[in-house]
């Protein structure tokens, strides 16, 4: 049986060690293989792609273009292929990001990514916070509801279609913490750092979606 190929994009915007280990542990002994993507790639060679991100929206977009990943990824996503974006990897699915400068995103999930505007909040939003499940899904199960995941971010999705929101989180106001359009998912938190529930989400994505 031919192994399914999981692509992990290294956008040079943070350490990918934790997510690499999490995926390797999940696929160990199964008919999957993990390939690191750090340049132009053939979209047809991958069954699923994961993009973890830390740092700024504009920096990640710039790095993806610099390392010739962007065009291949855009082509991959246009076919509604399976994708999981983590933190900034989720945010760049939007139409635009407003971090440092206005930057055009991939335009998969309607909305803008803007900074928390409540001056009473401590920014970045960092640490454990719960998610409220709005819709169940193959990777988002009811047992995630009201459970804590690990967040580190200063910017959030805004003006998003309700139909694209699977879960929200409250920090000054409710913001989308899990989004989906077709086979394309984004999570604002870091599942690879969120213990049991986070690892279960990654496992569900790889094995069930």
pLDDT along the chain (209 residues), means of 10: 92 86 96 97 97 91 96 96 97 96 97 94 96 94 93 96 98 97 97 94 93
Q: What is the tally of structural domains in the chain?
A: 1
pLDDT of residue 127: 97
The rounded distance, in Å, linking the Cα atoms of 41 and 64 is 12
- Identify the pLDDT of residue 1: 61
Task: Specify whether 190 is catalytic.
Answer: yes
**CATH code of 161's domain:** 3.40.50.880
- Which entry of 87, 99, 125, 153 is annotated as an active-site residue? 87
What are the start-end ranges of the E strands in 135-183? 148-153, 155-158, 165-170, 174-181
The tokens describing 68, both together, are 């010739």
Pick the catalytic residue: 136, 192, 195, 197?
Answer: 192
Instruction: Report helix angle 57-66 to 70-78, nearest 10.
Output: 100
The Cα 178–Cα 167 span in angstroms is: 5
What are phi and psi for residue 198, nearest 5 degrees?
A: -65, -45
Q: Residue 62: which domain range?
A: 4-208
Six-digit token string for 131: 């998610």
Q: Which of 136, 190, 195, 197 is catalytic?
A: 190
C-alpha of 77 from chain center: 13
Find all residues with CB under 8 Å of 119, minimum gap 6, and list them. Answer: none
């Amino acid at each position: 049986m031919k192994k399914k190929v999981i692509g992990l994009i290294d956008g040079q915007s943070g350490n990918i060690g934790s997510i690499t280990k999490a995926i390797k542990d999940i696929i160990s002994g199964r008919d999957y293989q993990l390939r690191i993507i750090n340049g132009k790639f053939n979209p047809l060679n991958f069954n699923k792609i994961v993009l973890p991100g830390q740092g700024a929206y504009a920096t990640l977009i710039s790095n993806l273009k610099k390392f010739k990943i962007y065009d291949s990824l855009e082509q991959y996503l246009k076919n509604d292929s399976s994708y999981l974006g983590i933190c900034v990897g989720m945010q760049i699915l939007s139409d635009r990001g407003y971090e440092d400068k206005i930057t055009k995103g991939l335009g998969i999930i309607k909305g803008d990514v803007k900074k928390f505007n409540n001056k009473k909040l401590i920014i970045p939003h960092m640490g454990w916070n719960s998610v409220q499940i709005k819709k169940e899904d193959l990777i988002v199960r009811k047992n995630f509801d009201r459970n804590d995941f690990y967040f580190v971010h200063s910017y959030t999705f805004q003006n998003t279609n309700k139909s694209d929101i699977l879960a929200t989180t409250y920090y000054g106001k409710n913001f989308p913490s899990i989004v989906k359009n077709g086979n394309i998912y984004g999570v604002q938190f870091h599942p690879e750092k969120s213990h049991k529930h986070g690892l279960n989400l990654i496992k569900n994505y790889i094995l069930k979606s």
